[in-house]
Structure 1
Amino acid sequence: MNLFRRNRTQVLATGIVLVAIVGAVALIGAVTDPIIERVAVGSLVSVVVVLGMSIYSGNSGIMSFGHVAFMAVGAYTTAYLTIPPALKQTMFSSLPEPLAFLIEVEAPFPVVLLVSAVCAALFALLTAPAMGRLSGLQSGIATLALLVITFTVINSWTAVTRGSSAMIGLPKLTTPLVAFVCAGLAIVVALWYKNSRSGLQLRASREDPEAALASGIAVGRHRATAWVLSAAVSGAGGALYAAFLTTFSSRTFFLSLTFGFIVMIVIGGYLSTSGAVIGAVSISVLQEVLRRLQDGQFTGGFALPGGVTDLVLSAILILALITAPTGLMGIRELGLPQRRRKQDLAHG
């Protein structure tokens, strides 16, 4: 077996294992009580968003603090396309004329997911030239600035986004099955890009930027490609999130949500697709347990002080950065057992 076939087999095995993991989470949510179902669906939505972040950060080596902005684009697109027209006429009485047609639109959820992904990708395309040129600390700060700009526009453009008022009336369309299908597709996209020509060249620039440039790799172009593709996946995650919450406001998509996703991708391992999935599922469950401890549900009515969830997650993040800077998975991927891979190498 040659090297190409071994790599293809390993990628396929990784995909199967990861899809099996999200499938198990979806199944648990589908056959248990509503509380566990909510945790399971929330975990799968987080998997989609964190995989979107991983497509960019994992391959470029640049941590993004701005992908929640793409979630917001997907969420508001979903609101415009799924809220019943009668309710939209009341909510958006002063909608600008070019957008007035949205009041009468009510699209199927698969179409909504696709449109949300496209809108997020178009938004990313506007900023792609800048993101392609920046690197290191400057790039990370630019992603944070993008999040702040997006939040400010959403919070201030009341005629279109209702400002700080909540978007209400969204139907609950994110079921365990829908979340599983989207998480599975996100895994396929993330693995496909990571092992594509663009992904391989972008990872080469991550390891040695000077050598990559000297070899003729168009680092900026590949970085911009990953940026736009990751935005599309995160935009779809935002659509799932909106149809999961059924009501949200501008403050939903800001620093608190960003921090949670950063913890997920760092704990799991931002250089690994498997790490993104493991981190998203495990931290989502931990967040839910901590929230319920704060509410006193597991302690016989004795509630922990408010803010404990953020304190615990912050402590875990600091500990992880000290003891395992590249996360639980590092650069490893789940898949074929090590013994099997050694046998393949011996017969290659």
Structure 2
Amino acid sequence: MEREELSHLAFETQIIHAGHSFDPTTNALASPIYQTATFGFETVEDMDAAWDKLGYLYTREGNPTLIALEEKLAALEGGEAAVTAASGIGAITSALYAILEKGGHLLCAKGLFFHSNILMNDFLSKLGVDVSFADFQDLEDVKRNLKPNTKLLFLETPTNPKLGVVDVRAVSALAKEHGCLLMVDSTFAPPPIQRALELGADLVVHSLTKYINGHGDALGGGVIGPKHLIEKIKYPSMPCFTGAALSPFNAWLIMRGMATLDLRVRRHCENALAIAKFLQSSPYVEKVIYPALPGDAGYELCQKQMNGLGGGIVAVWLKEEVKGLARRAADYKLCNNTKVITIATSLGEANTLIQVENDDMIRIAVGLENAADLIEDLRQALEAI
């Protein structure tokens, strides 16, 4: 089905059918993988014509499997177009390199994902881009840090890893008033949780590795937005010339995962809320952050902006002392005591993952297991400290 025919359908229907067609040779229903590095031609004239039309020549520059995924991503977020990259950081880098120039100003939210922070602080500054940070949960702080040369605002919501919820509509209005673009990293809150473009973002970026793929077996990144901005990112700048092209096989795995995205994300959220409530009641826990938890600082905005779905991450702080152990030591012991839950980084896959952050926060990336089993695993792990 063409995109126009899908536009009146719900997003969970669109992401199954967008970018999908029968294999032209065999009529196979499953999307084929065009697992090739290069493309052949009958004549030199045919190859010249492909150059002129931006046809398929070399997979770093374009591949039918990647195009199919990009159509699905555009449908997912309600955007006109999308571009993929080899990872979420590759997608962010591609967008920033295409939009920003020497002498321009990038205003970022404080508390970004560690690697995004390094990208902004270390790499962009070397290219002559002015980078500064503000608390995007405080609009007055954002206003104070805007400059005449501000070209782009960049934020995450919820933030990684402390789950601060940013009012995208309010920041978007501020960006438009100032004449700059807004890019939102929505990795922690893919549809059906939120659609950042509908909230006013100009571009939305995802680490496709996480919820959108959902199986922990493929890296990928994507940027979605209006066609004129996506074309600026895609042709002729990035990711072709950064070498950050997504592999066809990873693109195919991500498309396969997208078919069940709505079902999986709702289960992640259901499990995470149950775990957050359990941990909040534990005598060993000092604080729990989860946006859909009543009383959380982001609760009201979560109801309006995130459809009441808090995502799959729970942030936990144990008490300063647990059974005679300092918090950090107790954090380690808790994680080491888990049996069902795995000590690992990342999120958005079937397995529940746990890790200790630098400020003694425990991050739980809640998976798809039975919630009662996960709660029992955490209960015994806490008791065994």
| CA radius of gyration, larger in | 2
Q: Which has the higher helix share?
A: 1
Please state which band the TM-score falls in when normalised by the shorter chain: under 0.3
Instruction: Report the TM-score, using the length of structure 1 for normalisation.
Output: 0.27
With a CA cutoff of 8 Å and minimum separation of 6, indicate the structure with the bigger relative contact order.
1
